[in-house]
Structure formats: C-alpha cells, structure tokens
Chains A and B, each alone.
Chain A
C-alpha cells in the first residue's frame, strides 16, 4: 500500500515536469530581475554598461545609496511616505474596526444598505472620482497639503478594511459580549478590551495590505501632490528616474529604485501568506 502511494506520487510529479519547468523559469526570471537591480545599484555607471558588472572590480559602491539619499531628495520622499502610511494605516484601523463591529453586531435601519455601499465602493476605480474631487479641492485650496493626502488615502482604503474585518467579527461568538456584560463591562469597554484583541490577526493582515497599497499609490499622489516637499516615494521615484536618465547617473537611479521598493519587499518576505490571504478574501467576496 505504501509502495503504491509512493509510485503514484512519483507519477504525479513526473507528469508535472512541464509545469515545473515553466513555473521555475518564471520564478528565476523574477529573481534575475530583482537581483540585477540590486547588483546594478552597487556598481558604477560604466560598469553597468560594460560586461564587468558582476565582478565588482572597483568594489561595492554603497556611495550610490548615499548619493541618492542625499542629493536626489529620496530622503524627503521616503520620510513623507513613512509619515503618510503610518498615519493612514492607524486611522484606517481606528475607523474601520468599530464600523465593522457595529455593522456585524447591531440591527438597525440601513445596516444592509451601508454594507452594500461599502461593497460597491470596492469596485470603483479611483480615477473615476478624481475630477470632481480635484475641482472641489483646488477650490478649497487644499492641494499639496499633507493632511489632505492622508485623508484621501484613508478614505480610499476604509471600505476594503471594513469589508475585510466584517467577516472576522461575524465569526466571533456573541457569548464573549454576554459574559462581559454580565461582569459589568460597558459596550465600549467590551469592544476595546475584548473584541479588538480577538480580531488581531485580521487587523494585522489589513494593515499590511493597506501599507503596501498606500506605499505604492501613484495616481492620487501625482495629482494632489506636485511639490517636492510633500511628494511620496512613488511619484518621487518617477521624477527621479526621469532626471537621472539625463544626468546619466545609472547607479544612483537603481539605488533609488532599491530604496523605494525595499520596505514593501522586506515586508512581503516575512508576511507573504497574510498578504495573499487578504487578496483572496477581498476578491472572492467582492
């Protein structure tokens, strides 16, 4: 019996060889792409153009990073993005988790309507609403305002977060609340002290997901932030790349690419399972 199982497994694996080849090829290509940029960011511009790139004859050029960080304003963009993502992710959780809790627990008029509206908000691309939004905001003279950008990021991502956390709350038994109520805990206290810690895994997933979305957000930031001091990394990177192409500083350019994608990349290495969970949950239900 055991032997049969082994041969079956072997046969199955053998049949999968073409799939293995294709998938491994794809994976290798991805790795080549990313490691090449890493290597290029440590080489000089001449080395990139010649074939000596991977030999590092003149040593590792960490000064590319230093140069990109200082002269090309990567530091400004980077700090902006850190500020935007940190604040927005916190605010999103502060808004979305109570909202999801209330929507999942209490019956009131319009509950279902709100849930449906949140679900349909997931399907509207940001580009559809950008024009009326811009008209409004430019008349209020709020462009190039950090808090406006954070407000936009928050409002763009709250629907997804609420939607995602809703299913977590629905799966929690209401006996927790009953027990808390009997012991004399107020509804608010129950939420903060008991329910929120219970859905911690959900909150982590949603925050990681929001972090990546906001970090990479491009369109909104490009329209509403056209001053260097308030730009986040994605828009900044685009401008930098254009500038460095003309100055010929290829090493510095690739260094700034690495600086920009490093945070999401590192996060992904550690938390890829959670991120994938977030994608599939959002897609199947939505």
Chain B
C-alpha cells in the first residue's frame, strides 16, 4: 500500500495507482513529518537515556537490601496501571499549571520568581514537559524488568565480591552490569517499540491541531489517514500513511537487530 497513491483507506484496491517511491519522497519533504521524526529521535535518545538510568538506579537500590521493597515497587509501577489519559490530565492540569500547579507552588515557595512563572506548557517548553511526563510513567515498567533480572543473579557472586572488599560501584560495574546484558536488550527493544507507538501523549499535549512540538509519526499518520481534526492544512493521503507504518516497522527491526549485534545474548538463558 505504501507504494500506491491511495486517498482513503477504505478505497477498493482497483482504484489504487502505482506510485513507486513517490509517497516516501512526499513524506520526507514534508516539514511536519521531518519534525515528527526528530521528535521521536529526541524521545528515544534523551528520554530513553533518562528512563534507563533512573530505572536501573531504582532497581539496583531496591534489590540491594532496602526495606519496604514491595511497597516502593508497587507505587513506582502505579502510573503504568492508570490510563495514560488520566495521568496526562494530572500532569497538564496540575503539575504544569501556571496559576496553581505543583511546580508553580514549589518554585514560588523557594522564591524563584522566574521559574515559578514559567509556562511549562508554553510553546518553548511543551516538548520537554511532555517528555518528562511520559518518562515518569515509563520508569516503573523498565525498573521491573531490571529488577527481575537482577534477582536472577546468583547471590554468591555478589557476596564473594563483598568479602573481597569490592565497593558498591565496583560490584555494580563488574558484576551486575555484565549480567544485565540480555535484560538491556529487552529494555531497549521495548523502549523502541513504545517510542514508535508514541501517540496518546502527543495528542494530549496538543489536542486540537498538530503542533511541531508534540507531533510524532503516529499522530501524523492518524492525521493523514483518518483525518479527525479540523485542520485543513493536511490532505488525506493513505498511501503516505502506510509509508509511515512501513518506516516505523523498519526502525523497530533495525533496532532489534542492532541490539542483537551489540549486546550478544551469549549468557545463560535466564
């Protein structure tokens, strides 16, 4: 379908016209699509790095003999259970609100005038605000995966290293990390899949029309295939929409193969 000129998804196949790579050329010459690709690259790279770091840190701390592990774990995972729409609403209408929001109150009690008056969902900050809110919810999931595989590491190794006098960091880098290679692979692939499917948050943070700050390829695809919003700037083009689907699929496959190459799954099947 991505190689044909198709206006509406429900058109019958006989009306499709072969179009070669024209759809892809149109896509890549559209500013908003390139912006969308840039956005998910940012989400993938910056968000991914942040989420993985926080998730790994939490997982290592929680498996390192902390009290109340079950409670903490449950609460950190909680945002994944609540509907993304509900979470997003809390973030937009409470945390980021400029007149009574949480950030506003914290910064004004601290006396940071400029920070308390920042419009967190204003044009310049929208993307990063969205990314923080999105990542906040994702940490729990990745933390659980890390925790599950840390718990599979035989205790003997850690204890032996401890007796030999290795400190926290040595133990972490020399024992925990090498054991987590397979788990990193899972996490990176999952993160890629999630990023590619990034949709709800983009729609939440700019509900009416597509905006450069929050558009993701899926939002754009939805726009040109199903065309819900009132914006007349976008033309229905299902062929190009299918092209986006294909591109996303290729990204996932590439990510999967790359992680397979870089992180060899040569350790024991956990």
Contact = CB atoms under 8 A, between A and B. Distances in A.
Interface of A: 9, 12-13, 15-16, 19-20, 22-23, 26-27, 30-34, 36-37, 40, 48-51, 53, 123, 125-128, 131-132, 134-135, 138-139, 212, 215-216, 218-219, 223, 233-234, 237-238, 241-242, 250, 253-254, 257, 260-261, 264-265, 267-268, 272-273, 275-276, 279-280, 283-284, 286
A129 B112 CA distance: 49
A23 B249 CA distance: 36
B198 to A, nearest CB: 10
Interface in B78-100: 78-79, 81-86, 89-91, 93-95, 99-100
19 contacts: A23-B62, A30-B76, A33-B90, A33-B95, A37-B94, A123-B189, A128-B245, A134-B10, A215-B83, A237-B86, A242-B207, A242-B208, A257-B90, A261-B82, A265-B82, A272-B70, A279-B77, A283-B148, A284-B148
Contacts of B28: none
A52 to B, nearest CB: 11
Interface string B63-78: 0111100101111111
Given A218-B85, A242-B207, A279 B141 contact: yes
Nearest to A216: B83
Contact of B9 (A30, A131, A280): A131
B92 to A, nearest CB: 9
Contacts of A31: 75
B86 A260 contact: yes
Given A12-B65, A219-B199, A280-B145, A265 B94 contact: no
Contacts of A19: 57-58, 61-62, 64, 66
B81 A257 contact: no
B149 A284 contact: yes
B130 interface: no
Contacts of A32: 102
Given A49-B99, A242-B207, A15 B241 contact: no
Interface string B166-209: 00100000000000000100100110010011011001100110
Given A218-B199, A275-B81, A279-B141, 12 more contacts: A23-B61, A26-B58, A36-B90, A36-B94, A51-B100, A218-B200, A234-B85, A241-B89, A265-B82, A272-B74, A283-B145, A286-B186
Contacts of A12: 64-65
B270 interface: yes
Nearest to B102: A32
B161 interface: no
A272 B248 CA distance: 33
Contacts of B100: 48-51, 53
Nearest to A132: B1
Interface string B129-168: 0000000000001001101110000000000000000001
Nearest to A32: B102
A125 B161 CA distance: 42
Given A138-B10, A260-B86, A264-B83, A127 B141 contact: no
A284 B270 contact: yes
A276 B1 contact: no
B83 A261 contact: yes
A212 B85 contact: no
Contact of A30 (B79, B99, B238): B79
A132 B100 CA distance: 45
A214 to B, nearest CB: 11
B226 interface: yes
A101 B241 CA distance: 40
Interface residues of B, number: 70
Given A27-B76, A49-B100, A260-B86, A131 B62 contact: no
Given A23-B72, A37-B94, A131-B241, A238 B61 contact: no
Contacts of B95: 33
Contacts of B57: 19, 22
Interface string B29-73: 000000000000000000000000000011001101111001011
A125 B248 CA distance: 10
Contacts of B91: 33
Contacts of B102: 32-33, 36
Contact of B83 (A123, A260, A273): A260
Among A50, A127, A139, A223, chain B packs the most CB atoms within 10 A around the CB of: A127
A26 B144 CA distance: 15
A38 B102 CA distance: 15
Given A216-B84, A260-B86, A268-B81, A283 B190 contact: yes
B225 interface: yes
B83 to A, nearest CB: 4
Interface string B203-220: 110011000000000100
A41 B143 CA distance: 31
